Structure 1
Amino acid sequence: MSRVTVPRKDLLAAVLVLTVLWVPSISMAGDWPRICAGTALAALTGAALVFNRRAPVAATAAVAVTTLVGAAAGVCQDPMLATAWCLYLVAVERGPRVRTLVVALVGVLAGLAAVTGVSPGLGTWLVVATAALCSAWLVGTAVGRQVASVREAERMRVQLEVAREVHDVVGHTLGVIAAEAGVTRGLPDASEAELRETLADIESHARDALEEMQGLVHSLRNPRPALSGLPTIIATTRAAGVAVHARVEPHGPVDAEVGAAVVRIAQEALSNVVRHAPRARCTVELWEAQETIALRVHDSGAPGMTPASSGTGHGLRGMRERAAALGGTVVWGGTAKGGFEVEARLPMRRS
């Protein structure tokens, strides 16, 4: 059985409205019929305020009706402030769509003034009520737009994160598969045993890609791959035919999110080597430098390769965005010795 929870601010609003705007008038009603009627109206008002988030429009209408009836009976001193609070909450979620409700409420107030005549006391009450309702709608609409903007920004951030994870997780393995298939196609005299071995490798990497895709949702909801996963990425690159020399220096503990970013950046950099310079020699270095963890991936290049052909677009941009989100940097480009180099530095944020 689910437990009903009431936001504390709604409970507080109900208590304030009843004790300040209803109880004093009810206590001075003078006769039991009015006291009983006022108590019933106050109870309905309190219930609507407490549960207004379950049916906000209905709650707003209910509070407006009980307030008007209570004011007419002389058992309520509320100049539509409780209604304005409910209207504010509706406007935050629905914005301009509640304009009709505001017009209807103001129209009721105008009709009340026309029917009863505007005495000095009633005139003040109507002015305050109209101002409260209009202000609640305007402020609620503005706040609602801000809330919607924040929600949209968060949605875009999550969408970008998912796209980046898909690219990083699957792109490396698919690049290895493409490289192996290309090498095999370039060997017209390959024996049947060699072809079978290559096909077995392609099948193995394809299964790896499938497993990575199946585990993508899990990886997004749970801690990212640890820095200890770097040797696996290097081994996969070697299986694609790239000669990789790894040099990992001792370093202190690295925050899990930072470690995952380092692994993803290395994965994308090595994927670029497989795609653009599969016969190059490659060096992967990892070391600690002044409270940062540094990664460098350098390849010797391939004939005719230029920095522009060494990986552009989503991959390199994704590396830079991933590092920037953690306060780090990624730079890349050709080197004086030839080839292409990617270097990343991220704060260790020690665990």
Structure 2
Amino acid sequence: MKEVELNNKSVNLLFEQAIVLLKKLIAIPSFSKEEDKTADCIQEFLEKRGIPTHRAMNNVWAYNKHFDSLKPTILLNSHHDTVKPNFSYTLNPFEAIEKDGKLYGLGSNDAGGALVSLITTFIHFWDKEGLKYNLILTATAEEEISGINGIESIYSSLGAINFAIIGEPTEMNLAIAEKGLLVLDCVAKGTPSHAAHPNNNNAILKAFRDIDWFSKYKFDKVSDLLGEVKMTPTIINSGSQHNVVPDTCTFTIDVRTTELYSNAAILKIIKDNIKSEVKARSMRLNSSYISSKHPFVVAGLHLGRTHYGSPTSSDQAVIPCPSLKMGPGLSTRSHSSDEFIYVAEISEAIQIYNSILKQIL
């Protein structure tokens, strides 16, 4: 496929476009549920290049020019919402500052770098004829809050999708598995009484016994990529004064799941083993996994990338097709003060995305 090969001039042009777009996005506040202006910016960027766009709420998407419904389809997805800046920022989070090879700004690493790299990769392939796969680009909302008005809300409108690349900071390695998430609100119930009198039905003590189970229980199946299911108590509340035994104790458990168990299966095991009432906030965020023999993974490994299991969640959790997570930047920079991405990471990402896709398209 000579016609889609990247030369240095093409790489430089895509890189320059990516940096221009990322700087514009950084300058626009785009907290989850407030991404309308960045959606406008992305639409304008694509349409100025002759690419028709579609939009629902704050989600923007586009199809390659020669889309053929008889062909399989690859989805290129990343998000344009951000968390709110923390109080440790020393720089203006909405000013794109390029210094010492770094581009600073809120959302630069999570996931602006991946987003603009995927957008420019899509632009490169957009009008190419004779591709084996269709391409769909989606720039979506509410990822940071796992909101229902993001990729999940438009997925059924996109058409059949065979595989998805989710742009998140992975140092351009292949996250072929990702932990899911269950947040459990638990209530231990007891008998209220005066603290001076005997009470064998103390809600706090009952909660502690269940929390002790959470801290010690080991699930039988251990994932080669993601390790064990991890259950962590994170919140506990009970009582109002020192001399009253309360009738309830509430506590929250953060459960990070693996591909070996569905969220429903894990919830059943928990309910079978503890006495407190348990309610899951959501069952949507399941673990995901794709085979290391998938053509995209094989192509990435041929380029010297590695594969691994990711402990963090992304839009993979709410889409039903096979997917992996891959993008420039470092996950530990996400949500940090004075967030940044190296500009060279974006140039590398464009080259790697294009090189892998060229092998399978």
TM-score range normalised by the length of the shorter chain: under 0.3
Q: Whose radius of gyration is greater, 1 or 2?
A: 1
* TM-score, L = length of structure 2: 0.20
- Larger RCO, structures 1/2 (Cα 8 Å, 6+ apart): 2
Structure with greater strand share of residues:
2
What TM-score do the two structures reach when normalised by structure 1? 0.20
Structure with greater proportional helix content: 1
